[in-house]
Amino acid sequence: MADVFDLTIIGSGPGGYVAAIRAAQLGMKVAVVEKWSTLGGTCLNIGCIPSKALLHASEMFEEAGHGFKALGIDIPAPVLNLPQMMTHKTETVAANVGGVDYLFKKNKITTLRGIGTITAPGKVLVTPQSGAATEVETKNIVIATGSVSAGLPGIEIDEKTVVTSTGALLLEKVPGKLLVIGAGVIGLELGSVWARLGAQVTVVEYLDRILPGMDSEVARQFQRMLQKQGMEFKLSSKVAGIDKQDDGSLKVRVEPAKGGDMEMLDADVALVAIGRKPFTEGLGLDIVGVALDERGRVRVDQHYKTSVDGIYAIGDVIAGPMLAHKAEDEGIAVAEILNGQAGHVNYAAIPAVVYTNPEIASVGKTEDELKAEGIDYKIGKFPFTANGRAKAMLATQGFVKILADVETDRVLGAHIVGKNAGEMIHELVVLMEFSGAAEDLARSTHAHPTLSEAVREAALSLGDGAIHI
C-alpha cells in the first residue's frame, strides 16, 4: 500500500473509533484495522449496547406486568414475544454500528478489514479472512483491542447452555433456571434481564459480597433489593465443575470458597461472568518487544506510550477500569498527545454504572477505600423514600450517598442507588472534576420535583442538614 498513515489504530471499539475520529478532526491521516465485519467492537456489537436494549425491554415487560395496576392502568397480563425483543436488540446494534461507519466516512478514516499484527515500529500487517495480507506503513500505532470474557478452568463454553455474556444475549428461550457465576456488573445485569422474563436466577460468587470494588454499604443494600426481586445468592462459594446431562440440562458442582461439602445445583443455562481479560492475541507484541504487566495488560506511561517508540495503547488492554467511557477518554487523550496537545484523563472522576433496576452509579472513592487510606471523611445521605418525584413514580428504592473531606468539604466520592442513577451521577462527576465542595452542590438550585433533588439533599445533609428528612 502506497499510503503512509499518521496513525493506525488496531481495534474499532469505543477507544479505537473515538481515537480515530479525534485524530482525524485534528488533521491526521488515520486508518483503523478491524477483524470483525462491523465496527464498534465488543461494546456496540455484543456488550454494552445490546445488553441495554434487553435491560430496557425486560424492565418494560416487568412494569407492564406488575407496576401498571397501581397507576390506574388496567391491561391484560403481558405476553413475552422474545423473538421481537431480540429484533429490537439487533436493530439497536445495527443503528449504533451504522453510526460509527457514517462517522468514519465523514472524517475520511480508512477502514482496513482483517487481523492487525505489528511487525515492526511503523508497520502493521493486515490479514483479511480471505485474500492476501497487506502491510501498512504508519507513523504511529495505537493498540485498542479491548478485552474478552475470562474463563474458568475445566469449564467449556459452548455459548448455548454454558455461556459468556455473548451467549446470554442470544438465548432463544427463557431458561427455567439460570445459574450466574460471578456477582459483578455483567452477571447482575444479565441475570436481572432473564429474571424479569421469568427465569429462576441463582448467583454464585467467590467473595463474601456482590459487586466487588463498589461501596460495601451500597452492595449490601442492593443485594437485598435483588433478593426481593427473586434472585438468590450463594456467596463465598465457587463452581467446581459443570456436568452436561443427556437431556441438555446442567448439574453444577458448588463448593464453599474455603473448602467444605459440595452441593449440586440444577440449571438450564450457566452464565460465566467472572470478569474480562485484555486481548493481545496475534498482535505480535513479543516480536516488537512491547512489554506486558503481570496481568497480561500492555504497560504504558502517562502518555499511553508502550515500551516501544511510536506504539501506544488505550482502553481495556491497559490498566484501569474496563469501561467503554474510560477507553473513549483515553482515545481522545492519545490523539491529542500525538498532535502535540496536552491530552489528559482524570481517573479520579470516572463514573461507573450498573444498569439494573434500580440502577447503581458511583464516582470517586468508596467508604471502604477512604477508611483504608486513613482519610477523615463525612457522609451525607438521602433516601428516595423522601423524594416527591420518586413517590409519584413508585421509584422510592435506594438513596444518594456523598463522601466529603471533613476539613475541606471537597467531595471525594458519590454513590447513588435508584431509578436513573446513571443519569444523575454526572453532576457529581462535574463537581469532582472542578474539585468542588459539598456546599457548592448544596447551594445549586435543583428543579422541583425531580429525582435529582435527592442529590442536593444529600449534599445539604453534609452541612446544616437536609430539608426533607
Residue 64 burial (10 A CB sphere; 0-12, 13-18, 19+): middle
Contact 392, 244 (CB under 8 A): no
Query: What is the rounded CA–CA span in Å between residue 157 and residue 45?
Result: 19
Unique residue bearing C-alpha cell 425486560: 58
Query: Which amino acid is residue 460, in one-letter code?
Result: L
Query: What is the rounded CA–CA span in Å between residue 365 and residue 362?
Result: 9
From 303, 344, 426, 448, active-site residue: 448
Q: Which alpha helices (H) appear in 38-115, and where do they start and end?
A: 41-46, 48-66, 82-106
For 272, the enclosing helix (H) or strand (E) is strand 269-272
Query: What is the rounded CA–CA span in Å between residue 136 and residue 116?
Result: 10
Contact 368, 217 (CB under 8 A): no
Let me know if 415 is a catalytic residue: no
- Cα torsion for 197, 202, 203, 206, to the nearest 10°? -170
Query: What is the rounded CA–CA span in Å between residue 397 and residue 386?
Result: 10
* Beta-carbon-side half-sphere exposure of residue 340 (alpha carbons within 13 Å): 3
The pair phi, psi for residue 232, each rounded to 5°, is -105, 150
As annotated, the active-site residues are 448
